[in-house]
C-alpha cells in the first residue's frame, strides 16, 4: 500500500516556500497545470493542492484557512528538535505551547500559515517503543 499526503493551501508558491524552508522538503514536480506541487523528502510524498478560500471541500463545508482542528495531523520526526523548531518559526509556523518532554522524546506542536496543525518530534531512546505495551498485551493474550 502506498501513502500520499495531501494538504490544501490557498497560496501554492507560499506553501512550497514554507514546507521547503520549515521542514526541508523539496519540490519534486508540479502537476495538473501547476495547481498541485509534489514535495519530496519525507517518508511519503506530500502534495500541496491549490484550493481557494471558501470553495466547497465536502457537503456542507467550505475551505477556511484560519487555524482549525482536525483529528488527522502530520508528525515529522527530526534529528535536532531545537534546530527544527527554529527553522519552522523562521519559515512562518506558529508554535502552539511549550516544547514538551515525553517518555518517547521531545515534541513541539505548530500551526502552518494555512491553519493546519503539525508536530515535530525528536525521538528519545527507542521512540514509541519506550511506551509500547506489546509485551503486556502479549501476556494478556496467553
> What total number of domains does the chain contain?
1
Instruction: Assign residue 86 the CATH number of its domain.
Output: 3.10.180.10
3-state secondary structure of 18: helix
3-state secondary structure of 11: coil
pLDDT at position 49, please? 97
List the grid coordinates of 1: 500500500
Global confidence as pTM:
0.87
CA distances from 39 to 17, 82, 104 (A): 11, 23, 28
| Percent of the chain clearing pLDDT 70 (strictly above) | 94
139 or 71: which leads in pLDDT: 71
Give residue-wise pLDDT tens across range 70-112: 888 999 999 999 999 999 999 999 999 999 999 999 999 999 9
pLDDT at position 58, please? 86
Strands 100-102 and 105-111: antiparallel
pLDDT at position 69, please? 85
3-state secondary structure of 128: helix
Model confidence at 19: pLDDT above 80: yes
Model confidence at 135: pLDDT above 60: no
- Full domain range(s) for residue 17: 5-141
Amino acid at each position: 500500500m502506498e501513502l500520499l499526503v495531501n494538504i490544501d493551501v490557498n497560496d501554492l508558491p507560499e506553501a512550497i516556500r514554507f514546507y521547503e524552508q520549515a521542514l526541508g522538503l523539496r519540490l519534486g514536480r508540479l502537476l495538473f497545470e501547476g495547481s498541485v506541487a509534489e514535495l519530496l523528502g519525507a517518508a511519503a510524498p506530500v502534495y500541496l493542492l491549490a484550493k481557494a478560500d471558501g470553495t466547497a471541500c465536502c457537503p456542507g463545508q467550505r475551505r477556511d484557512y484560519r487555524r482549525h482542528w482536525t483529528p488527522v495531523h502530520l508528525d515529522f520526526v527530526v534529528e535536532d528538535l531545537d534546530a527544527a523548531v527554529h527553522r519552522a518559526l523562521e519559515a512562518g509556523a506558529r508554535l502552539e505551547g511549550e516544547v514538551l518532554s515525553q517518555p518517547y522524546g521531545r515534541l513541539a506542536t505548530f500551526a502552518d500559515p494555512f491553519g493546519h496543525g503539525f508536530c515535530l518530534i525528536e525521538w528519545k531512546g527507542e521512540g514509541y517503543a519506550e511506551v509500547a505495551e506489546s509485551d503486556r498485551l502479549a501476556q494478556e493474550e496467553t
